[in-house]
């Protein structure tokens, strides 16, 4: 327990106390999705617009794994072995199959050879 009780859980000036197991979305339990109709949430203002009224992201925003792949490819052989050892050590302590399965899926998205180790 933290000896400082300053109500700053989840960031500065956060005073709501969530009573859930998890306080983020998406989560491994797939429950408590964000509620778009929640009171005080942003509401889309209906307005006639000539043309397309959308916010589009550039295709670069869909490149989820490039940075991790670049990092992995930049490692020297001994650094790669350190990474493999660290991942193996941390995942060997995990008792939850869902977490292990999801981690291996993410590693496979980055590098198939790393996921096989």
Is 30 within the bounds of a domain? Answer: no
User: pLDDT of the chain along its 117 residues, tens only?
Assistant: 455 554 455 666 666 666 666 666 666 776 555 555 555 555 666 777 777 767 778 887 888 899 999 999 999 999 999 999 999 999 999 999 999 999 999 999 999 999 998
Is 11 within the bounds of a domain? Answer: no
Is 83 within the bounds of a domain? Answer: yes
Is 111 within the bounds of a domain? Answer: yes
Q: What's the CATH number where 105 sits?
A: 1.20.1370.20
Q: What is the pTM of this model?
A: 0.53
- Counting the structural domains of the chain, the total is 1
Beta strands in the chain (DSSP E): none
Is 96 within the bounds of a domain? Answer: yes
Residue span of the structural domain in which 87 resides: 59-116
Contacts of 51 (CB under 8 A, 6+ apart): none
Long-range contacts for 82-87 (Cβ within 8 Å, ≥24 apart)? 83/114, 84/114, 84/117, 87/114, 87/117
Q: What angle do CA 112, 115, 116 make, to 5 degrees?
A: 90
């Amino acid at each position: 327990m933290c000896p400082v009780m300053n109500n700053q859980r989840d960031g500065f000036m956060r005073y709501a106390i969530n009573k859930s197991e998890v306080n983020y979305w998406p989560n491994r339990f797939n429950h408590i999705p964000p509620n778009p109709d929640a009171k005080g949430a942003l509401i889309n203002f209906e307005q006639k617009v000539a043309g397309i009224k959308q916010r589009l992201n550039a295709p670069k925003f869909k490149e989820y794994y490039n940075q991790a792949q670049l990092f992995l490819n930049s490692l020297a052989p001994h650094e790669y072995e350190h990474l493999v050892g660290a991942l193996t050590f941390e995942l060997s302590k995990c008792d939850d199959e869902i977490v292990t399965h999801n981690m291996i899926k993410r590693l496979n998205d980055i590098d198939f050879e790393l996921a096989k180790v």
